[in-house]
Amino acid sequence: MKVDFAIVGGGLAGGLIALALAKMRPELKIVLIEQGDSFGGNHIWSYFASDILPEHRWLTAPLVTYGWSGYEVRFPAHSRSLENIYYTIESERLDWVLRHNLPASAMMLGREVKAVSPRLVVLDGAQRINAGGVIDVRGAGDLNHLDCGWQKFTGQLMQLSEPHNLTKPIVMDATVEQYDGYRFVYVLPFGMDKIFVEDTYYSDTPNHDPRRLRQRLAEYADGKGWKVERVLREENGVLPVVMGGDLESYWASGSGRTAKAGARGAFFQHVTSYSLPDAVRNAIFIAEQPDLDGDKLNMIMRQRVQEHWQSGKFYRMLNRMLFRGAEASERYKILERFYRLKPGLIERFYAGKTSGGDKARILSGKPPIPIGRAITAIRSKKK
């Protein structure tokens, strides 16, 4: 099989690249390869309108299933409503949009990838795909090369017997009892009587017990007076919150000299671990390249992730303060203080566009943790 470009991995990053190429480079013969039976897996992705440049919003607009004019955060000593528009994409919608925008010949589902190189993909059964270029977006590489804390979660879409009366998302509800690091509950109101509730932890370990988190979700719903008729879907995940590490070794661990994007290429917001804004930027960037030769694309994407890593230095420092400068049960105070800052600063932070003035403001004033511990945390490195 011969194609102009092969995308290995049909999740969010791979799907966006395929959609961008289909729109901007329709002359190219592409193929999107996914091990599962559908594109996107079982995921819900959310983002702020300010995360995406206005000229790039055409790429995400067809994927959005819900949107709200603002959101809330709740902490023990501070609650607040903010007006930034918030959107959600469900994996089922990504799958539908891909199937309706790509030709049948461009979609390969249920296929296991055995090997990749800059111009070749080998599938199960020894089938070979010869391509002008290949990009690998199959998920994280070897995280042992990175110094990580962990964001882990269990989320459930609940069908309620009565309306929940929420009109906007609660992005962080940290009024809950603190366990296993910084804990908060994330709430998305889907319609009048459906609600997505996620129990999330910024933890020192990746150990994840969905059974226990399901119990806490049920307790949270019960505490809100929500009568749950049934759970419509469940999502579990463990994401790295990067504090440092060896970027070159991480890049090499994920298929060597082949171009990479998404988590495979270390393209994510270092504090939130969210990958959608970078996935959009990379999809447009790749589609704009005049030459998608595999070797050239690897060099370009490698330079791009080095720039991304350099721009993330401040965020990785904040992660070290969160994980190593604060007692686990006190971590919420750092976020509580952050959400007292100006809305524009918060928007730029989520978009990964924090300015020099923003950085100074985030670090100024009385710190929520002892200054000595903060300095020790900033200087810490993985042993």
Which of 58-67, 168-177, 370-379 shows the lowest per-residue confidence on average (mean pLDDT)? 370-379
**pLDDT exceeds cutoff 60 at 70:** yes
pLDDT in tens, 255-314: 889 999 999 999 999 999 888 999 999 999 999 999 999 999 999 999 999 999 999 999
Residues 57-82 as b or e (16 or more Cβ within 10 Å = b): eebbeebeebebeebbbbbeeeeeeb
Question: Is the model's pLDDT at 383 over the cut of 50?
Answer: no
| CA atoms 200, 379, 349, 21: torsion sign | negative
DSSP H or E segment with residue 4: strand 2-8
Q: For residue range 197-216, what is the model confidence (pLDDT) as tens digits?
A: 999 999 999 999 999 999 99
Confidence band of 90 (pLDDT split at 50, 70, 90): very high
- Over its C-alpha atoms, the chain yields an Rg (Å, rounded) of 21
Q: What is the DSSP letter of 29?
A: -
What are the chain's domains?
A: 2-69+88-144+243-311 (3.50.50.60), 147-241 (3.30.70.1990), 313-379 (no CATH)
